[in-house]
Amino acid sequence: MSLNCGIVGLPNVGKSTIFNALTAAKAQAANYPFCTIDPNVGVVSVPDERLDQITRFVKPNRTVPTTMEFIDIAGLVEGASKGEGLGNQFLGHIRSTDAICHVVRCFDDPNVIHVAGDVNPLHDMDIINTELLLADLETVEKRWAKVEKSVKNTTDPKIKAEAEALKKLLEALQAGRPARVVELSEEERAASYDLHLITVKPVLYVANVDEGGLKNGNRWVSAVDKRATEEGAQVVRICGAMEAEIALLEPAERTEFLVDMGLTEPGLNRLIHSAYRLLGLITYFTAGVQEVRAWTIPNGAKAPQAAGVIHSDFERGFIKADAYHCEDLFRFGSEQAVKEKGLYRSEGKEYLVKDGDILFFKFNV
């Protein structure tokens, strides 16, 4: 599975600058609203040192990392839920993403216009969160108008489950709370899935700072951190201007640049790792002479589901998975040495795959 994140925010907060830096794509970045009209899509390799280490031990013909997809979505303005700006188009694009990277401006620059006049990240966050809530509220109200009539004269458990879900969602949205905080049963969640609500998606705040803010923070970052803590959300601090510089450097120069800046990794890595934690994702590997490859799965996935990420036939005809952990490979130096230590195992259908597992599936269809 490939993680799909929509990068959102008010105009001129640095969405496209960060998108360009992170994906090395050529999304237009300009100092005026709505320079990004159609969503720009960039697919990047997920950085994972373990994949590089496995490659050094196994020496395959090729190495394939897992990927993450970023979508740079047009800037949102107040009234978007009613069609202001590119509202309807924006909301349509964001409904298709797995998670939301909400960029907020935490730097001051007189040369970059702020759509609201002054730098105020909390105000910016409130505008976007309110517009997303209003869009979802309209969706739920429309659906409730149809279900409310039919649920009175039915014994269909699916319709009843949907009605219960809609009532809970309506109560939360009307109170200004996002759909993701609503506790729904499995039946209610399944019945409401087709609503494709935006506020059910997990949110990662990206504080776009200048160099000083990256090292030491600032009053705007502190405000964003406090708000995110109250919401149970995560914050990643990124200097979009610096990431743009890093993206233009050769690998060796990037390492030297990061060391000089007192950083251990670029913003892309921090953003992806935070997004993985946000969505509860882990990585397992397949390793052989032909190919070493990383695969993304939900934390808690069992072996057949992990196999299904490679191909549906692997899941359908699953027999067993030969498994060992990459740390054991690093410690003992080879798969054969892992076997000799008794750490190479055969696992069945109930095995919960662990982050860093190296798996070989056996199946029959």
pLDDT in tens, 49-72: 999 999 999 999 999 999 888 888
Give the global pTM: 0.81
What is the rounded CA–CA span in Å between residue 242 and residue 155?
60
Cβ-based neighbour number of residue 265 at 10 Å: 14
Tell whether the model's pLDDT for residue 88 goes beyond 80: no
pLDDT at 82: 55
Q: Mean pLDDT across the stretch 212-240?
A: 90
Average pLDDT over residues 334-355: 97
Place of tokens 């700072």: 209
Check whether 309 has a pLDDT greater than 60.
Answer: yes
| pLDDT at residue number 35 | 44
**357 vs 127 pLDDT, higher one:** 357
- What tokens were used for 141? 């109200």
Q: Tell me what percent of the residues of the chain surpass a pLDDT of 70.
A: 88
How many Å is the Cα radius of gyration of the chain?
23
The answer on pLDDT for 80 being more than 80 is no
* pLDDT tens digits for range 7-49: 888 887 888 888 888 776 444 444 434 344 455 788 888 889 9
**DSSP characters over 6-37:** EEE-STTSSHHHHHHHHH-------SSTT---
User: Which pLDDT belongs to residue 259?
Assistant: 87
Amino acid 114: pLDDT:
59
The DSSP call for residue 289 is S
Rounded to an integer, the average pLDDT of 333-356 is 97
Stretch 248-270: mean pLDDT:
84
Which has more pLDDT, 69 or 335? Answer: 335
Q: What is the mean pLDDT of the chain?
A: 86
Nearest CA to 115 out of 84, 70, 81 is that of 84
Which 3 state secondary structure label does DSSP give 299?
coil
pLDDT digits (tens, 9 = 90+) for 168-189: 999 999 999 999 989 999 999 9
Q: Residue 90: its pLDDT value, please?
A: 62
Residue that wins the pLDDT comparison between 148 and 343: 343
